[in-house]
């Protein structure tokens, strides 16, 4: 299974015993939408709902931080996702949140994980079948495991300021990156991590929500000043849309890491340097 699959491929695989489909839609409060309610109203047949708002470290004041491996494994088991499952993720979010779910699953040991190109919007536009309510799947064993090589912490990001070992690319809008637009979180500085580059996540998609071609993705990274042959760390506001950059880099053969605390941590920390203006 490729890491990016088409709606046609998924339609042909719907009845496969090892296939698990997951709606990983997630919204911010300003979107005024309820991901769980939208899932129950309409989803791809057989899909379960992965609640990214709840599958997080809720004891951490930072938003959307990775949960403990035990919690993640427990939630996956309850969704019927387990060892040996082929997992296809989709979303219906402007944030393209299936990319964050893909990164989480990979971090916690799932190997056969893909994203549905175009998500729910493309599936519906093609007139394909949908289902309502909740799906009930038998619990499956999900081995508790975490591989942190793709995760970056605040201390590691501080150390990278001096070493420059990894290129830092920021998925936020240009106005947020430059500091022209203030951060929406209270007591959080505007601007960006010094030395980082800006590549707004939304520019990596076509108008219909499908991913741009590999050539176009490569051009976008290079246009932002990123060398795809060198290590990359993606960041954003809260670690959600950075997943889009990580997934795009993976499509291009680069195993980028993700700074989970993102700007909500860096921007609020009084000990970190902040840069303003363009990269």
For 192, what's the count of Cα atoms within 13 Å in the CB-facing half-sphere? 27
CA distance linking residue 22 with residue 91, whole number of Å? 8
Contacts by residues 55-60 (CB-CB < 8 Å, ≥ 24 positions apart) = 55/104
| Helix, strand, coil fractions of the chain, as percent rounded to 5 | 35, 15, 55
- Phi and psi for 54 in degrees, rounded to 5? -95, -30
CA distance linking residue 262 with residue 193, whole number of Å? 10
Q: Indicate which residue of 24, 169, 233, 236 is catalytic.
A: 236
**227 included as an active-site residue:** no
- Phi and psi for 116 in degrees, rounded to 5? -80, 115
CA distance linking residue 168 with residue 258, whole number of Å? 9
* 235 in Cβ contact with 193 (< 8 Å): yes
Catalytic residues: 236
């Amino acid at each position: 299974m490729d890491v990016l699959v088409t709606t046609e491929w998924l339609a042909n695989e719907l009845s496969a015993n090892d296939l698990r489909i997951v709606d990983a839609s997630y919204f911010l409060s300003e979107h005024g939408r309820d991901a769980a309610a939208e899932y129950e109203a309409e989803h791809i047949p057989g899909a379960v709902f992965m609640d990214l708002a709840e599958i997080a470290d809720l004891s951490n004041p930072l938003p959307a931080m990775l949960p403990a491996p035990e919690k993640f494994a427990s939630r996956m088991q309850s969704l019927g996702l387990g060892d040996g499952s082929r997992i296809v993720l989709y979303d219906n979010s402007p944030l393209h949140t299936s990319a964050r779910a893909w990164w989480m699953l990979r971090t916690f040991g799932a190997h056969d994980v893909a994203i549905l190109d175009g998500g729910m919007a493309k599936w519906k536009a093609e007139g394909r079948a949908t289902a309502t309510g909740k799906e009930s799947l038998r619990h499956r064993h999900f081995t508790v495991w975490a591989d942190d090589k793709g995760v970056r912490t605040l201390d590691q990001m501080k150390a990278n300021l001096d070493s420059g070992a990894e290129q830092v690319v920021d998925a936020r809008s240009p106005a947020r990156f430059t500091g022209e637009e203030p951060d929406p979180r209270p007591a959080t500085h505007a601007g960006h991590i010094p030395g980082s580059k800006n590549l707004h996540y939304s520019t990596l998609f076509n108008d219909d929500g499908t991913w741009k071609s590999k050539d176009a993705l490569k051009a976008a990274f290079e246009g932002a000043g990123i060398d795809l042959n060198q290590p990359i760390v993606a960041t954003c506001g809260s670690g959600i849309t950075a997943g889009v950059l990580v997934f795009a880099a993976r499509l291009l053969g680069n195993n980028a890491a993700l700074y989970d605390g993102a700007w909500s941590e860096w921007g609020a920390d009084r000990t970190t340097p902040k840069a303003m203006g363009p990269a």
